[in-house]
Structures are given as C-alpha cells and as structure tokens.
Amino acid sequence: MRRILIPLVTVSLLALGGCATDQRKDALTTTLNAYASTVRWGDFNAALQFVDPKVRDAHPIPPLEMARYQQYKVSGYDDGNGPVPNGQFEVHQTVQINLINVNTQHERSVTDHQTWHYDETSKHWYLESGLPDISQQ
C-alpha cells in the first residue's frame, strides 16, 4: 500500500502545482486585458486601481498630476510581444501608448515599461511600476 501511496501523493502535488501555475497565468491574462482596456478608454483613475496598494500608499499621485491625465485621449495601446516572465511571480511588459492632447490635438507616443507582480495572498496581479509617465517627450 505504501508503494502506491507515495507515487500517488507525488503526482497529486505536481498536478496541483501545475494548476496554480495555470491559475496565475489565467489571472495575468485577465488582468493585463482589463488594464489595457481601461487605459485604452483613458480612464486613468480606474487604471490606478491596478497599481499595487503598497505602491499607491508609498507614492500617492497628487491631484494635479492626476488631472494632467485628463488632458489626453488614448489613441493607441500596443503591448507588442506581451509579457515576459521574470521568475514565477513577476512579468515585465513594454507598451507603446499613443496620446492626443485634447487642447492642441497633437499626438505623441510614450513607452510604458510595466512590472507586474503576483500576490499569493490575494491571488492577484498588481502593477508595481505605476501609471505610465505621460510627461515623456
């Protein structure tokens, strides 16, 4: 009986580990798609909710800076090749965001280097790099 039990437990643990990986991957895909959609609609207040709460608390965005996001409409969001894993619980993604200044109608592009981290406790992916820097020239 013991000969059968040990391999059975080992296979079960490996299968559960695979399930956790699949759940993380599915959660990442869902989170990145939701974030992209939110930014495409130009809703930076909602996009701020994707930022890790610890990062938001440590580096709050002043109201004037949040108001600056309202000066732009997003005309493009290109995530290129998608996320690149950096270990089990972190991915990096480089995104090109096209912005149109609503006052001047001038369009420009900014590069957003995103770092996403998986929180095992909440089973949620959080953006650690913060909102895109729209002050880039």
pLDDT digits (tens, 9 = 90+) for 65-107: 999 999 999 999 999 989 999 999 999 999 999 999 999 999 9
How many CA atoms, within 13 angstroms, populate the side-chain half-sphere of residue 13?
A: 6
Average pLDDT, the chain: 88
Beta-carbon neighbour count of residue 122 at 10 Å? 9
For residue 28, CA distances in Å to 18, 71, 82, 88, 125 come to 15, 30, 11, 12, 6
Instruction: List, in sequence order, the alpha helices (H) in 41-108.
Output: 44-47, 53-58, 63-69
Q: Which domains does the chain have, with CATH numbers?
A: 2-127 (3.10.450)
What is the pTM (predicted TM-score) of this model? 0.82
Q: How many CB atoms sit inside 10 A of residue 87's CB?
A: 8
The sign of the CA dihedral 28, 29, 30, 32 is: positive
